[in-house]
A = this chain, B = another copy of it.
Amino acid sequence: MTRQTAMLNAYTPGAGHLSPEDAALAARRAAALGPAYRLFYETPVHLVRGEGVHLYDPDGNAYLDTYNNVASVGHCHPRVVAAMAAQAGTLATHTRYLHDGILAYAERLLALFPPELSHVMFTCTGSEANDLALRIARAATGGTGIIVTDNAYHGVTLATAEMSMSIGAAVAPGPTVFPVPAPSAANYPKGIAAGFAQAVSDACDRMAAQGIRPALLIVDTIFSSDGVFPDPEGFLEPAADAIRARGGLFLADEVQPGFGRTGSQFWGFQRHGLIPDMVSMGKPMGNGYPLAGLALRPDTIAEFGQKARYFNTFGGNAVAAAVGMAVLDVIRDEGLQQNAATVGHAFTQGLRTLAQRHESLGETRSAGLFIGQTILTDGQPDPARTARLVNALRENRILVSSTGPQGDSLKIRPPLPFSLANVDQFLTTLDRLLPTL
């Protein structure tokens, strides 16, 4: 596989058709934030307000958001904002004092996991959660070897960036990082479950040849940056068995699929009928408030906890706990997991129906409201056409982006209150745009 070097769907300074006001903002960004920041789209979007599944520009134009999974229960959800404000006005200290909030939230969250995962630790970002998992896995296994998929994304700390192949060739994989092909039918034509497990075993063999002991197999259970690979259900279990047979641990990275998005289950790993050793959580957990965490089996954390302790200044503070609790309340009270199942199913069916009339629509891979849609030209995946489509949708005020190593698929993951009417707007616009690209 050729590793991409450029970011998918990134703005090229000077391109696009920015208004004078937006061009001025872009110039101020470059001056103040420096060269490492990127904007989305050929013509970046300027936002001033969000509500539900919509974002608004300064002229009051509504953009249908089919991309942002952070504001998972809807942009600026009033119950989440109210919980944040109430707790921030009452107490906002850390986990070295006794406080009810963090415990009530921890217990509520743990009740959503299999009983084997009975501890939870709190960080501010998914990067920190995966980075902590790495420290814990090293302590628990005595090994250092890490297996990831070959377009994985697991974070931006030094350690997690080195195991995030999707960042591109500029960041070399760490010396103990062993990528394996993502679990697609193309990569494993004889069967994904057995093939992926064999790839994990083979990676352990390559480690052993270098004197490296396995510590961790870490996968995003929806394989978001690899291209979205949810099926067949259960295919991950043999891979988890394979890493454990070699003394390593299995980490389900639920930063993308977690919190009900996949519809039929609350967590992505539950599609696969397995119990991970650790589960990392992030993006949707606080609906935008920096809240992330790690659920664990007690035996996994015993060694680390005994010797090294963990303190994260903001992680699990009283406000984070109140926000996290409000997010769980909203998911439950508004039936958002069920909505993800129902609307996600309709969305997928709608795309497949549309594909009967548009040769450029290839495979639709989905679980709930997480959808990967391959875009074709002459029957072959076409990253350039995908990019044109992403930008054409943006011009029609629908926000989406692409995924896969070369960006040949739409990555669709709207806020969970997405409605059938929203699906219809997306499909109608897609139907109109596809013949023009």
On A, residues with C-beta under 8 Å from B are 7, 22, 25-26, 28-29, 31-40, 44-50, 55, 68, 70-71, 75-76, 78, 80-81, 84-85, 88-100, 102-103, 106-107, 110, 118-121, 124-128, 131-132, 134-135, 156-159, 161, 167-168, 170-171, 282-283, 287-290, 296, 298, 301-302, 304-317, 319-320
5 A–B contact pairs at CB < 8 A?
A28-B103, A36-B305, A36-B310, A50-B91, A78-B89
Instruction: Tell me the nearest residue of chain B to A28, going by C-beta.
Output: B103
Cα separation A125 to B122 with both chains bound (whole Å): 13
* A156 with B310: CB separation less than 8 A: yes
Shortest CB distance A97–B (Å): 5
Q: A88–B76 contact, CB under 8 A?
A: yes
Report if A103-B29 is in contact (Cβ < 8 Å); known contacts: A157-B128, A313-B283.
yes
Cβ contacts under 8 Å, A89 to chain B = 76, 78, 81
Minimum distance in angstroms from A176 CB to a CB of chain B: 12
Residues A33 and B119 in contact, CB atoms below 8 Å apart: yes
Q: Is the CB of B288 within 8 A of A32?
A: no
> Across the two chains, which residue of chain B brings its CB closest to A96?
B40
Chain B CB within 10 Å, residue with most, of A96, A99, A170: A96
Q: Are B35 and A302 in contact (CB under 8 A)?
A: yes
Beta-carbon nearest neighbor of A37 in chain B: B95
In the complex, are the beta carbons of B314 and A124 less than 8 A apart? yes
- Chain B residue at minimal CB-CB distance from A76: B89
Per the bound structure, the CA–CA distance linking A320 and B286 in Å amounts to 14
Beta-carbon contact of B308 and A36 below 8 Å: yes
Closest to A68 in B: B93
Q: How far is the CA of A227 from the CA of B161 in the complex (A)?
A: 33
Q: A81-B89, A93-B50 are in contact. Are A98 and B158 (CB under 8 A)?
A: no
Instruction: Verify B34–A92 contact, CB threshold 8 A.
Output: no
Contact A94 B107 (CB under 8 A): no
Compute how far the CA of A369 lies from the CA of B202 in the bound complex, rounded to whole angstroms. 57
**Complex: A135 Cα to B157 Cα, angstroms:** 8
A38 touches B309 (CB 8 A): yes
- B310 and A98: CB pair below 8 A? no
A157 to B135, CA, bound (A): 8
**Cβ-defined partner of A313 (8 Å) among B80, B125, B167, B315:** B125
Q: Are B124 and A124 in contact (CB under 8 A)?
A: yes
Assess the A125–B124 pair: CB atoms within 8 A.
Answer: yes
Contact B106 A306 (CB under 8 A): no
Chain B nearest CB: distance from A297 CB in Å? 10
Q: Can you name the residue of chain B whose Cβ is closest to the Cβ of A288?
A: B92
Which residues on the B side are within 8 Å of A135 (C-beta)? 158, 161
Q: Are B50 and A288 in contact (CB under 8 A)?
A: no
Give min CB distance, A363 to chain B, whole Å.
27
Contact of A47 among B47, B91, B124 (CB under 8 A): B91
CB-defined contacts of A98 to chain B, threshold 8 Å: 22, 25-26, 29, 39, 44-47
Contact, CB under 8 Å: A75 / B91: yes
CB-CB under 8 A from A106, the residues of chain B are: 32-33
Given contacts A92-B287, A131-B158, 11 further A-B contacts (CB under 8 A): A32-B120, A40-B96, A47-B93, A70-B314, A75-B92, A80-B88, A81-B85, A85-B88, A125-B314, A170-B308, A288-B319
